[in-house]
Structure 1
Amino acid sequence: MKKNPLIIDLRQQLPLHKRYFSNTTTLLLWGSWLLLWRPVMIVVSLIYAHQINLLNRVFDTFSSVVENGFAALVACAITLWMWSTFVSPKSKVQVTQKKVEDYAKYFGLHQQHLEQTRQQKVVYVHHNQEGKITHLN
């Protein structure tokens, strides 16, 4: 068994009332989901009760829709893969990394002070009412 599983299950550490609330909520959500399928089940049962031939037609249509949908999904995945592999991006310009002098000039700070604060673990940034950086600690 893994030491750090991806699924975090801490239900046993929850108090009893929170576990009860979680179980009740889960049960209500499953019940709501099943109630959403109720009209479909009613229609299927009515079709089955009245005409078996019509039910076969519905299942044939459903299977062809699923088959065509799967084919469209595979075709779309292949098209996207080919597009990402063979179509070159319009711009191949590498972004140049700015130097400390550029940042110091832009923010109006001293270069040595900016280099010192970049080496620190914690930096306090002070700014004025307009949001412009005034100094660093």
Structure 2
Amino acid sequence: MAELGVQADFLEKYKDAGRIWSGPSFLGYMEGLKALLAELPVSPAAIPTKEYHYSLTGNLDFVYGELLYSLTGTEGLLRDKAFPLQECYIRPLFSPSVALECGIRYRTKAGEEVARTCEVVRTDETGYILFTDYHRPL
């Protein structure tokens, strides 16, 4: 029953939030990101909103480390290629799973706006799954 309360609290807190956080780099939100992952309720289903090439399973510290490594590595790679970053963001997802989506919006040299995303779902009290296409981009 406690899980339902945590999920209801998370839903109430973030249901109308288009973005939980937005900024120029995930390095500016490192501690907040870990706290946000810890706050994520257990999802009834671990289903991402789109297909990803990689899924990494582990506890909070493992998934936080892999998520931060992947996001900041992707940021650096895009900056090295001189792609202007528009926004780094975190937003809640509620269907089909309760999840967090972390994304990087940028413009290609041709001017096309592109977003790279990954999702984190909590599977049980200590388990998380990170869904990503851009694991270890360096």
Q: TM-score range by the shorter chain?
A: under 0.3
TM-score normalised by structure 2 residue count:
0.20
Greater relative CO (CA pairs within 8 A, separation 6+): 2
Q: Choose between structure 1 and 2: higher helix proportion.
A: 1
- TM-score computed with the length of structure 1 as normaliser: 0.20
Structure number having the greater strand percentage: 2
